[in-house]
Chains A and B, each alone.
Chain A
Amino acid sequence: EDKVVQSPLSLVVHEGDTVTLNCSYEVTNFRSLLWYKQEKKAPTFLFMLTSSGIEKKSGRLSSILDKKELFSILNITATQTGDSAIYLCAVEALGGTYKYIFGTGTRLKVLA
């Protein structure tokens, strides 16, 4: 059965810290891996990764995919209280049609 596992489940850090969130997967017919940030409302899109070893960067956030070891990491540097959210990892895999399989998320809390 296809699965996506995120770790840690939750994390508490202080402003200015750097955090690394992990996402590992076991799926058949992988197409892409996506990261979303979910605060109280809609998950908002962060990154879409399709190729191994190519880092995607947006401000203080960056992410990379390893298709050989089947995982991705999301890094956040110089964390701010506004980074507090649940970070969701989704893998797009073929099961009939291509669909997203989500992990349970990592709940990040950044303290002032």
Chain B
Amino acid sequence: NAGVMQNPRHLVRRRGQEARLRCSPVKGHSHVYWYRQLPEEGLKFMVYLQKENIIDESGMPKERFSAEFPKEGPSILRIQQVVRGDSAAYFCASSPTGNQPQHFGDGTRLSIL
């Protein structure tokens, strides 16, 4: 009965590098959501995916950010050419259907040097 698993827990990158954040949803959940949390701010929606499909990416920055949820394996949030402003906690959540409560992972704390 594992919950949402995110890795790594902490990730340090230098400006210009790529960051890859992984999320394995609760077993049986096919809906995955990514959020970003800046210090002293609430969680901000980024993207909503189902297996092999991006359903809603209205919260994703237009450049450098991408997400996928392949048929096999975890969901990946990818940030290319990272900048200092990308430093944040990134949370993944999953749900079995689109209208049931989302369950969150422990997050990945991304620090950009």
Q: Interface residues, chain A, CB within 8 Å of chain B?
A: 4, 31-32, 34, 36, 41-45, 48, 88, 90, 95-105
Q: Interface residues, chain B, CB within 8 Å of chain A?
A: 3-4, 33, 35, 40-45, 48, 55-56, 58-59, 91, 98-99, 101-107
Compute how far the CA of A44 lies from the CA of B101 in the bound complex, rounded to whole angstroms.
Answer: 10
CB-based contact B102/A100 at 8 Å: yes
Question: Would you give 21 A-B contacts (Cβ < 8 Å), ordered by A?
Answer: A4-B42, A42-B3, A42-B91, A42-B103, A42-B104, A42-B106, A43-B43, A43-B91, A45-B102, A90-B43, A95-B58, A96-B56, A97-B55, A97-B56, A97-B98, A99-B58, A100-B102, A101-B45, A102-B42, A103-B42, A104-B40
Compute how far the CA of A4 lies from the CA of B40 in the bound complex, rounded to whole angstroms.
Answer: 15
B contacts with A: majority SS: loop
Q: Which residues of the partner chain B approach A90 to less than 8 Å between Cβ atoms?
A: 43
- Shortest CB–CB separation between residue A86 and chain B, in angstroms? 10
Closest to A105 in B: B42
A contacts with B: majority SS: strand
Q: Which residues of the partner chain B approach A98 to less than 8 Å between Cβ atoms?
A: 98-99
